[in-house]
A and B are shown apart, each in its own frame.
Chain A
Amino acid sequence: MRRGEVSVEDQARYLGRGDYARVTAADRPGVAQPVPLREVPAQPWARVALGALLLFAVLIAGWEYYWRAFGVTPGSRNSDGLWAIQRRRIDNGEGDATVAIGSSRMYFDLQLDIWEQLDGKRPIQLALEGTTPLPFLEDLAADPKFTGRLLVGVAPQLFFSGFAFRGAALTYARKESPAQRAGQWLSMHLIEPFFAFYDHDFALDTVIQRQAWPERAGLHERRPVRKLAEHGPDRNTHLWGKVETDPYREVARSVWRNHLAPSADVPPPEKMQKTLEEQLDRAAKAVITLRERGVKLLFVRPPSTGPYLEWENRVFPRAKTWDILLAKSGAQGIHFEDYPELQGFELPEWSHIKHADAEKFTAALHAIIARDFPQFLAVGAAGGAVPDGHVAH
């Protein structure tokens, strides 16, 4: 026994608790605490560990098999760390790039491969699902390293309400520790390429939580959004093929129906109006700052259809939102309702364009910009206002 150690017998005597005794610092007031004793319980630990490892391996294999049978394939995890990698590109010499911010529509509908083919340069995708782009617009406005082109996706219910499901991504990117950065790299190289189940939608608590639990009286429970997209390592993202057909399409639609249903959680009209005005003022201020720095900016309203569009038009009518946004900020915008080429795509769950059509949407969007907003694409031209060339439709 080493200096300072206390024997098991002494400990047991001290407490009089037989073999359950273990003296802690709580039992020894006002004295130097001796070296603790940590016994290993008698077990055939080699066999126990082997059994545990085998069970773990079998269960993991079964879980992976289950999700692959569900139609999932390994891909990049849609994490804050992945977003931070793209955000850092602006700080690391790509400040003149084309950057996309917005919500899930800009995230899923803009296909980076197509844009790169047409434009020669691959955009940086910084849009985040369920999240207003406003804080990110302000972040870029405050960053003198960003001097490029900015596509700002506008999903009315997010942009004008200020809701930010993934708002923490910005703080994460600013404060990301070396350990977190290393963890992101390890995840992208050791986990994500091999395990389909490694997706937020298949996390244990998410899976358990979405089972058919009884509704609580008096509470409108917002159902969590299911997996809708597949992501690439540079956040090139598209709508998941499974969403295109029933029964999963109906699952996705039922979630939207749940979200669009009347709820006591909706703020009163005067509060919503106040929030709307705040968002518009902040957006206008950020746009002016960007314009002064020469950044070229376009707002883009990607398509939505069906009950989703009806709800948006009712709660966030264009005349009170989009039109005022453009007027206040002095920026130009592309609203899908103004361009026949941005209509007619298939949106399986009313909010996002299916993969094949998203490629066509991206090409059409680029063509519209080239035709109607040539200064946005012009290399070296003075940026900001993109003042001329907007063709009314």
Chain B
Amino acid sequence: MVFNSLTFVVFFACVLVLHNLPLGWTTKKVNLLLASYLFYAAWNPPFVILLWVSTVIDWYAAQGLVKAKRESARHAWMLLSVVANLGMLGYFKYGTFLLDNFSALMHALGIAYQPAHSDIVLPVGISFYTFATMAYTLDVYLRRAEPARNLLDYALFVTFFPHLVAGPIMRPTELVPQFEQPRKASADQLRFGLALMTLGLFNKIVLADSFLASIAEGVYDSDKVPGALDAWAATLAFSGQIFCDFAGYSTTAIGAALCLGFAMPDNFRFPYAAVGFSDFWRRWHITLSAWLRDYLYIPLGGNKHGPARTYTALMGTMLLGGLWHGASWTFVVWGGLHGVYLGAERFLRSRFANYKPGPLMFVALGLLTYALVNVTWVFFRAKTFGKAWSVLGGMFGANAAAKPILSSFSLIAVAAIIGGLVLTHWFMRARTLESVVARAHPIAVGAVWGLLAFAIAIAQGSGAAFIYFQF
């Protein structure tokens, strides 16, 4: 079920009540586990089996890793986990993509090949829990972590509903220790957790769904050719939509976990105030970028084997990171562009190591970063390369004869929301939400909280799925 639904409100209320009953800790954990399975089954019950398969494979792989006497046996257990997890991911997420590309390749070679029609349904959040379970086995393999002490704690780590379908992507060392001793939120943790959930849902329901989504759709899902104003407005709207959608999910998830007494890591730190792309990736989807860094970039050589290997590892990581988001070449290009940006930045930093920008240049570099990030969003949002080129053409003045698409209201909404969003990110770039809330007057905090809740209620959200569920 989605956070932005009445079903979740009732579900979460029941979970909170259960978690605060005078029951034993093991019973409470079983309750949380069953609730998490229910949370996932509410989309499509049979897919719970995939969760079980993923859970059981990595549980036994980690046990096998610990008991293995020889290094080759450890390798084998690790490979079993990687192959099983990536195999499931590959089948469900990339099966059709691979078949289509194979078919296209055969056609290019003059061989008529028509694959059988497949109706593979992508299980919600499979990319997220696959990475979480892989992190468990890989951490044990890399001797960074010990395996969980019992299957219940481990299964709950994989399945814990706040992070299950769209992250933050948890590491076992972040969550499993929290299940070892009884946890219950204090009254203030519960209230602050609810406030965080309100903030997250405001981002999703009001900003992303009610205002920004339709503006991006107006251009990206239309067959009209956009001019500069429409192309930029739609792309900026999408930049806001995807941030508010995904960061909104993460904030709601963090708040939900806090209401139950658990801590989850930050996943976003005001990324549209990033100066440079390494800074951007330290602020955007932090748990994914850190996962890719730790389990892909570093094993590929990282920055320890000379520039050529570093740039290759960087590009490889970003290309695969792009593919992680979706089974389409547009996502690969999105990742590739970020790889190019990161490589260029690395090169420039090495060439101008002593350069320190002044305040104006600092802001200018930040805005340049944001503009270039927007160029990548074109490939992320466009369903085809044709559409991407059309929008990019508009953004860079190639569609001068294009007719207007978006209404004046849409343009005003983009200016107001995206302007406000970027200014907020710059104000918050060296702060945390908590530090700002702590300094605010209590009446202001209560008023903002009440207003956000009111806006959520009157926005009448349609329960639209979060964008990242499809990844």
Q: Which residues of A contact B (CB under 8 A)?
A: 2-5, 17, 19-20, 22, 24-56, 59-60, 63, 177-180, 182-183, 186-187, 190-191, 197-200, 202-205, 208-209, 211, 213-219, 221, 264
Contact = CB atoms under 8 A, between A and B. Distances in A.
B87 interface: no
Contact of B264 (A32, A36, A52, A204): A36
21 contacts: A2-B181, A3-B177, A24-B290, A25-B265, A30-B298, A33-B173, A34-B174, A35-B173, A35-B175, A36-B263, A38-B263, A39-B434, A40-B189, A46-B187, A48-B446, A51-B446, A178-B45, A187-B6, A190-B6, A205-B210, A205-B214
Nearest to B39: A179
Contacts of B435: 19-20, 41
Given A38-B254, A46-B187, A52 B178 contact: no
A38 B265 CA distance: 8
Contacts of B289: 26
Contacts of B442: 43-44, 47-48, 51
Contact of A4 (B173, B431, B458): B173
B174 A219 contact: no
B294 interface: yes
A45 B291 CA distance: 35
Nearest to B291: A25
B2 interface: yes
B304 to A, nearest CB: 10
Given A50-B446, A52-B450, A60-B458, 9 more contacts: A2-B181, A24-B266, A63-B458, A177-B42, A203-B210, A213-B407, A213-B408, A213-B409, A216-B408
B298 to A, nearest CB: 5
A22 B432 contact: yes
Top-8 shortest CB links A-B:
A55-B450, A51-B446, A25-B290, A179-B1, A179-B42, A41-B438, A52-B449, A32-B144
B73 interface: no
Given A40-B192, A204-B458, A47 B263 contact: no
B445 interface: yes
A178 B430 CA distance: 43
A60 B453 CA distance: 10
Contacts of B293: 29-30
Interface of B: 1-2, 5-8, 10, 41-45, 139, 144-145, 171, 173-175, 177-178, 180-181, 186-189, 191-192, 194-195, 206, 210-211, 214, 254, 258, 263-266, 269, 281-283, 286-287, 289-291, 293-294, 298, 403-409, 411-412, 430-432, 434-435, 437-438, 440, 442-443, 445-447, 449-451, 453-455, 457-460, 463
B454 A60 contact: yes
B434 A40 contact: yes
A54 B407 contact: no
Contact of A36 (B7, B174, B430, B453): B174
A199 to B, nearest CB: 8
A32 B10 contact: no
A180 B194 CA distance: 23
Contact of B408 (A30, A60, A215): A215
A117 B50 CA distance: 52
A245 B203 CA distance: 39
A114 to B, nearest CB: 32
A203 B460 contact: yes
Contacts of A4: 173-174, 177
A77 to B, nearest CB: 9
Nearest to A62: B454
A40 B188 contact: yes
Given A38-B258, A43-B437, A219 B460 contact: no
A35 B177 contact: yes
B191 A203 contact: no
Contacts of A49: 191, 194-195, 446, 449
Nearest to B227: A218
B454 A56 contact: yes
A51 B443 contact: yes
B460 A26 contact: no
A202 B6 CA distance: 19
A177 B173 CA distance: 33
Nearest to A200: B460
Q: Which of A37, A199, A214 is packed against the most chain B CB atoms within 10 Å? A: A214
Contacts of A37: 263
A87 B211 CA distance: 31
Nearest to A201: B460
Contacts of B7: 179-180, 182-183, 186
B411 A22 contact: no
B101 to A, nearest CB: 26
A388 B120 CA distance: 48
A150 B431 CA distance: 63
Chain B CB within 10 Å — which of A19, A179, A186 has the most? A179
Contacts of B211: 205
A33 B265 contact: yes
Given A56-B454, A183-B463, A205-B211, A216 B411 contact: yes
Given A32-B144, A34-B174, A214-B408, A59 B403 contact: no
B431 A41 contact: no
A209 B408 CA distance: 10
A183 B460 contact: no
A69 to B, nearest CB: 16
Given A177-B43, A178-B45, A29 B434 contact: no
Contacts of B463: 180, 183
A56 B174 CA distance: 35
Contacts of A34: 173-174
Contacts of A197: 458
Nearest to B448: A52
Contact of B403 (A209, A213, A264): A264
A264 to B, nearest CB: 7
Task: Choose among A41, A191, A199 the residue with the greatest number of B CB atoms under 10 Å from its CB.
Answer: A41
Contacts of A216: 404, 406-408, 411
B460 A204 contact: yes
A200 B461 CA distance: 10
Contacts of B407: 213, 216, 219, 221
